[in-house]
Amino acid sequence: MSKDVWVRVDSETPRTEGEVLPVSSLLEGTSAAGYAAPAPRVAADLYWMGRYAERAEAAARLLRVADNLVDDHAARPGTTGHAAMLAILGAVTEVMAVRPGFIGEEAQERRADPLPHLRELTLDPRIVGSVAYATHRAVIAAQAVRESLSLDTWLVMSRLERTLQHALPQDDLQELLMETIEGLLALAGIGVESLIRDPAWAFADAGKRVERAQQTIRLLASVIAVERTPVVEGTTTEAALLAAESVITYRRRLTAGLGGMSALQAALDLLLRDRTNPRSVAFQVDRLVEGLELIDDEAALPQARAIVDQIAGLDLDALFADNRTPLVRTLTRLGTDLRETHRSIDRAYFQRKTPGRNVQWVQWNGGEESW
């Protein structure tokens, strides 16, 4: 049942035909600037929820690409396809930061039969860096801030946990990874379409942007920055673009012509400098700057803006000179600068204030107190 709403106006005020009467907006005073910043614990949980969810998605995408290469080339040692497969398995170890992984002499058995370890990196929550571990940590962080999230979040979270916890040995790894990616994409969609752009959202999005930028930098450092034979390089570059969900744009640009860029430079440009690509490092830092502006940040914002300027000033020809040593140095510096930006956010917003009074600490030692 609805009721009529009457707006009283001064009957003596003259009105012209078709005049629209001014009515105060119901949303007046509810802009992002009107929201209080969340408490340190809440801000930290939102931030790490964003980071862990993005980490799980990046790992799942890379593992899916690696699994495809293993299916195609594991039984063909000595071929260029097998060399590309080994390169991407090495990238899995570097990007996911799992040791020993597929690198080193102790990893010979894993390189000879990669599928069991790829499965562990997907499903074993005890391995720090695995898809299951990152997803579980995202769920824990989300549960701590239930009041800040959409109700639909729990439909997606519960499905993700069921997919990873109830997988059977005979289940196809590709299907498991696809189901996981679908769930994580749904979670990202909720963040885009269902959350108000307030400081709470800004912290969750900042975590996502920092993590995606770091993951992409690691991917570029382990694939694009390593010089290989042209045939192997073509396969590994395409694999990196697949993992970064940018291969369609890359192929379209190849067809349209790259101007003065080589194919490899075009791939690096797309994943590093292109501010229109939602998967590029530049795009992440741009969004990070916007989020920090939303929370009126003064600690990390100058650092993030400096990274934006640093990326904008990169020269592709210079990066590929001298066996790509400048590219390696640039990626290392960007990764370091992003970590420093993260530390500034952590210090400014996640550290709880020390109590205003001194607390005595007692240690019992042989029946005597020591202060």
Q: How confident is the model over 42-52, as pLDDT tens digits? A: 999 999 999 99
CA dihedral 140, 149, 243, 325 (to 10 degrees): -80
110-148 in b/e form (b: 16+ CB < 10 A) is: bbeebeebbbebbbeeebebbbbbbbbbbbebbebbeeb
CA dihedral 91, 95, 97, 98 (to 10 degrees): -50
Please choose, from the candidates 270, 307, 291, 308, the residue with its C-alpha nearest in 3D space to the C-alpha of residue 345. 291
Q: How confident is the model at residue 27 (pLDDT cuts 50, 70, 90)?
A: very low
What CA–CA distance (Å, rounded) separates 267 from 275? 14
Q: What angle do CA 169, 172, 174 make, to 5 degrees?
A: 135
0.75 surpassed by pTM: yes
Is the predicted pLDDT of residue 363 greater than 80, yes or no? no
Q: How confident is the model at residue 352 (pLDDT cuts 50, 70, 90)?
A: confident
Count CB atoms within 10 A of the CB of residue 244. 25
pLDDT at residue 260, as a whole number: 84
What is the average pLDDT score of the chain?
A: 88
What CA–CA distance (Å, rounded) separates 259 from 76? 36
